[in-house]
Every structure is written in structure tokens, then in C-alpha cells.
Amino acid sequence: MLDNDPSTLRKTREILSSARWDLEPFVDPDTILNYAATHRTAAAIINFGGSCVHALDIAAHLRAISPSTPVIISLKVHRNKAHKMLIGTEMVNLIKQRCVEKPEPAAFKRPTFSRNFSQNEEFDLGYCA
């Protein structure tokens, strides 16, 4: 998982570990690309708040290195600077649904909204490539 926030990486690692999944945390895009070139992974998660173009660029590089590895891109869209993330069973279910079960063979799938939000909250758009 690539995230520019180390605390989010720690929290996500705890969540996924509770589902018995291993998570390798990365804050540097070059490091995750080097790791992908030398290791076989079940999926890659990219979580960059607000940097859609950068996240898509990294996803394209990951797909070039390992075409069979599903890539989940979690893009945070903020309203009134709320800082919440797709958490708990929602993260686990998104990964299972988009990368383990692989229901749709498409390069980029439609957005997945984690829940209904009030006007002052953030929501995540989850894509799996």
C-alpha cells in the first residue's frame, strides 16, 4: 500500500491484518515500484488525497511492471477539510470485491462510494485496475 500519510498506513495495516492479510506499507512511490518489480503481490493499494493524476501515473507504472496485479486507487475527495478514510470492513470488502473476486474485466472500473455522506464529510472513490 502506498500512502503519503504514515498514520494512515499504520491504521490500514492493522485493519487488513485483522482480516489475516499482509500489508507492505510505502510512503515513497519509487519504493513501491521497486518492490513490485521484485515481488509477487496479490494487489496494490494507492491512497493519495487529492492527487488523482499522480495516483493514476503510479498505477500505470505498477500495471506495466506487473500486469496481473490488481491496483486499487483510493482518492479522497474533501468537503470542508474533513479527514476520514475508507476503514474497517469497508476496506476489506472493497479489496475482496474488486481484486479477489474480480467481477468485471475492465481497465478502470466505475467509482465505488463507501457510504452516504453529509455535506461536511469526505468520501472515497475506489478504483481497481
pTM of the shown model: 0.59
Residue 20: partners with Cβ closer than 8 Å, 6 or more residues away: none
Which sequence spans correspond to the domains of the chain?
2-128
User: Rounded CA gap, 120 and 129, in Å?
Assistant: 29
User: Rounded CA gap, 71 and 65, in Å?
Assistant: 12
| Tens digit of each residue's pLDDT (9 = 90 or more) over 84-123 | 444 445 555 666 665 555 544 444 444 444 444 444 444 4
Cell of 23: 500489508
